[in-house]
Amino acid sequence: MIAAKRQHMRMRWPASAVGLLGALACMCLVSVACGGDKPVARTMTDKEITSAVEEELIFDQAVPFYDIDVSTTRGVVMLAGSVNNLLAKDRAVALAETVKGVRSVVDRITVKPIWTRTDEQIESDAQNALLSDPATDLYEVDVSVSNNVATLTGTVDSWQEKELVAQVVKGVKGVTGIKNEISVDYKTDRVDREIRPEIESALQWDTLVDHALIDVTVDDGHVTLGGIVGSAAEKRRAEQDAWVAGVKSVNGSKLDVERWARDEDLRKNKYVAKTDEELESAVSAALLYDPRVASFNVDVDASGYTVTLRGAVDNLQAKRAAEQDARNTVGVYWVKNQIKVRPELALTDEEVANNVKSALARDPFVERYEIRVSVANNTVYLSGDVDSYFEKGRAETVASLAPGVRDVKNYLDVEPGPLAYNPYVDEDYFYLEDWYDHGPFHTLVPDSVIRDEIKDELWWSPFVNESDVKVSVEKGIATLTGTVDSFSEYNAATEEAYEGGAAWVYNKLKVD
């Protein structure tokens, strides 16, 4: 999937080199003939899967593609090589899982930090990260570090809280591994007949899971998922959805990955029209299982596929998380986020600025940049230079988690190139932010080649039914028309068009 780096190279290479690349791309495509409208039947070989995974890694702005080796055997992808932080390692695996045809991923990536840090320094930063995070600051957990591996102990109220603690510690530079020994102590016991329908409901309302062929069984709190899903990423997502209150374990080994499971007929009952009451109930349920939002009273109001969120939270990330939860709910087309942020701690602007600076310094993605931080009335202003929209968004996310922050104004300058967003991988959706100003660039690649590569990207995507999307390209600008089933599929089509080399995308798809 064409990388932002490769797009920049298109602008810099001489016309003869670009023309040669376009000709080679046209010769190599097997999904569609150059300029043709009708897809040609194609097979999916291990070699093709490997190539598709590599292109997914190339396009991503947070994974060091050149340090990762990819191989595939019967649809099982093995990743080897090294990265400098745990979040990048997890991200590489998650990206590989999103490629059509990947049955599972074997992770042999090692973490080799570029920082020289003692266990004591890492442990101190990890403890501070947990205390500074507005969702984990009150958890009864401890962290110890030995040979750069963090061991987590203590007790929390849910599996989601346990995972969140691990995620926070993974975001500390220098951590090479996690041993998560945290126990989950549910406040109340639940019987199997209560657990099963809640899991089935969670699967049904998750826009990233097609639940039609998934079977759920529960035995004394132990959940087994069987049946078929369309991608390894969807399998992981289904396993996460199954962790409702009362669940002791989740076994997804009986979930088979078959690419044909994205068939439209299997999803027709998932995307039927929902009543406002159904949408409100589904979004509210999703918020209850998000540890960043669960402790707040967020009011959900649905009206004709638009959900409005109201209420007050004490941190900015809770507001953002609530919006993303609503967006991932089947039937939600648009989210109006009117949640108010009212920090619980009365901190001075200087204290807030110090909190943000410390958080940025701990983060393995953005710590190397000289990001300037200023604060006025608890609003953070970020300025400086970063290399990609991912890093610009990451800096905003890190700042939003700092205690005392009411809002973030992101004025970081970034090199040109579109944001690489993946709904199975990224928690924050930045396309609608006023600072996302990616614009058209000049490309010398023929329109027919861009069009064919976009169609190829759509074919490999587990998010989009390629046959539902019509693609036209003029002067490098792609126009998408047709009808898709969900807002997430609408957004994914835009992303795939950029990965296919489009200089700009007009998305005219209808969501039905």
Euclidean distance between CA atoms 176 and 149, whole angstroms: 6
Give yes or no on whether 192-267 and 349-414 have one common fold: yes
| CATH of segment(s) 4-112+440-511 | 3.30.1340.30
Grade residue 511 by pLDDT with cuts at 50, 70 and 90. Answer: confident
| CATH of segment(s) 276-341 | 3.30.1340.30
Render pLDDT for 224-270 as a digit per residue (tens, 0 to 9).
999 999 889 999 999 999 999 999 999 999 999 987 665 555 565 66
What residue segments make up the domains of the chain, in order of their start?
4-112+440-511, 119-184, 192-267, 276-341, 349-414
Beta strands in 311-406 (DSSP E): 312-313, 334-337, 340-341, 372-376, 379-386
Q: What is the pTM of this model?
A: 0.79
Render pLDDT for 427-482 as a digit per residue (tens, 0 to 9).
777 767 777 776 666 777 899 999 999 998 888 887 788 888 999 999 899 999 99
Nearest to 422 by CA among 107, 75, 62, 51: 62
411 neighbors 381 (Cβ within 8 angstroms)? yes
Residue at 222: amino acid letter: H
Q: Which 8-state DSSP code applies to residue 150?
A: E
Render pLDDT for 140-165 as a digit per residue (tens, 0 to 9).
999 999 999 999 999 999 999 999 99
Kindly list the distances between the CA atom of residue 429 and the CA atoms of 3, 29, 432, in Å, as whole numbers in the listed order: 19, 31, 7
Q: Calculate the dihedral angle through the C-alpha atoms of 449, 450, 456, 462, rounding to the nearest 10 degrees.
A: 180
**Average pLDDT in the 50-57 region?**
92
**Average pLDDT in the 116-125 region?**
96
Measured over the CA atoms of residue 155, residue 250, residue 50 and residue 30, the dihedral's sign is negative
CATH (one of 1.10.405, 3.30.70, 3.30.1340, 3.30.43) for 192-267:
3.30.1340
Euclidean distance between CA atoms 358 and 239, whole angstroms: 34
CA atoms within 13 A on the CB side of 30: 9
CATH (one of 3.30.1340.30, 3.90.650.10, 3.40.50.300, 3.30.460.20) for 349-414:
3.30.1340.30
Euclidean distance between CA atoms 218 and 249, whole angstroms: 10
